[in-house]
Amino acid sequence: MATPLSADRLLKALRDEGLHVVEHRSWRTNNRNHKGPWGPTHGVMIHHTVTSGTASSVELCYNGHSRLPGPLCHGVIAKDGTVYLVGNGRANHAGLGDDDVLRAVIAERSLPADNEANTDGNRHFYGFEAVNLGDGKDPWPAEQLLAIERAAAAVCRAHGWSERSVIGHLEWQPGKIDPRGFTMSSMRTRVGKRLGSKPTPPATKPKPSPAPKPTYEPFPGAAFFKVGRNSAVVTAMGRRLVAEGCGRYAVGPGPRWSEADRKSYAAWQRKCGYTGAAADGIPGKTSWDRLKVPNT
């Protein structure tokens, strides 16, 4: 049990543990604190993203999607071991889990089976999403596993916790399988060994690199947006409209252009300052470029 680390303390703890950390956009104020309390904190939870590609994975974890608003974790761990901080505070990553598991984490003892979903984990756990498809085939590079070990150890060290405070999503919430591809038992062994010694810097100092720049869908032309159009671009557009507070969807968004998409885009046009016929819900290049729809 502990008071959550401030943004500065979390950043320092990770870097002191030898991690290459990138501060992504406005991560320090990106949280879900308005939906419930953040803290007291009890542990660190490890996930896999079910995505590929660093830039798109980081953006997804920062923004979230229509069914689950971001941030979806506190840090994203890339294949090369870089940690991208995307949130500070309550994050949508743990969901409801087993209160028996939480008590075991607090007591730092062996975990019971997770067979209930009755306790808010978003309040009590730091979350790290590791970029991996989670299909059992996508590899886990040594650099990425080492970064998971370092990140978990950094938070534990900052709070005075043992490796027993590190769990996987699959150990918390019934039905979850992440992280898939290595065991949490082996990861806890690694974290425990690291906590038994002083933090060590990486073997080689990584070159500073800027946060990945996401790429966006080019304007496909107004004629693209017609009834029956079925495209992943429509889904991506809808998710951005929801993120901008302009979603007018009862269900969705989905890949097929619909009246809900038109109404949602009209709301975005009005937000951009358009009125009358200029806010008819059919995308134009200027408003489309401002929306910044991620590449599909």
SS3 category, 54: helix
Does 206 score more than 60 pLDDT? no
pLDDT tens string 6-15? 999 999 999 9
Q: What is the pTM of this model?
A: 0.71
The stretch 259-271 carries a mean pLDDT of 96
Give CA–CA dist 261/263, Å, rounded.
Answer: 6
Give CA–CA dist 245/258, Å, rounded.
Answer: 18
What pLDDT score does 91 carry?
98
Q: Are 162 and 175 in contact (CB under 8 A)?
A: no
What pLDDT score does 252 carry?
79
The stretch 184-211 carries a mean pLDDT of 81
What pLDDT score does 72 carry?
98
The stretch 135-164 carries a mean pLDDT of 97
Residue 120: strand pairing partners: 96
Does 234 score more than 80 pLDDT? yes
pLDDT tens string 96-142? 999 999 999 999 999 999 999 999 999 999 999 999 999 999 999 99
What pLDDT score does 279 carry?
96
**What's the farthest any 2 CA atoms get from each other in the chain?**
67
Q: Are 196 and 220 in contact (CB under 8 A)?
A: no
The stretch 251-259 carries a mean pLDDT of 90
What pLDDT score does 214 carry?
80
Which residues, including other chains, have CB under 8 Å from residue 174's CB and lie 6 or more apart? 98, 114, 115, 116, 117
pLDDT tens string 28-82? 999 999 999 999 999 999 999 999 999 999 999 999 988 899 999 999 999 999 9
Q: Which of 71-80, 166-175, 206-215, 260-269 has the lowest mean pLDDT?
A: 206-215
Q: 23-29 — which CB contacts under 8 Å span 24+ positions?
A: 23/85, 23/211, 24/58, 24/62, 24/76, 24/84, 24/85, 24/86, 24/211, 25/62, 25/86, 25/211, 27/62, 27/71, 27/85, 27/86, 27/87, 27/88, 28/88, 29/88
Give CA–CA dist 198/105, Å, rounded.
Answer: 23
Helices of type H across the chain: 7-16, 54-63, 99-107, 142-159, 184-195, 232-243, 259-271, 285-291
* Phi, psi for 41 (deg, rounded to 5): -95, 145
Give CA–CA dist 18/56, Å, rounded.
Answer: 25
Q: Are 50 and 134 in contact (CB under 8 A)?
A: yes
Does 209 score more than 80 pLDDT? no
The stretch 239-247 carries a mean pLDDT of 93
Give CA–CA dist 183/174, Å, rounded.
Answer: 17
Give CA–CA dist 266/256, Å, rounded.
Answer: 17
What pLDDT score does 5 carry?
98
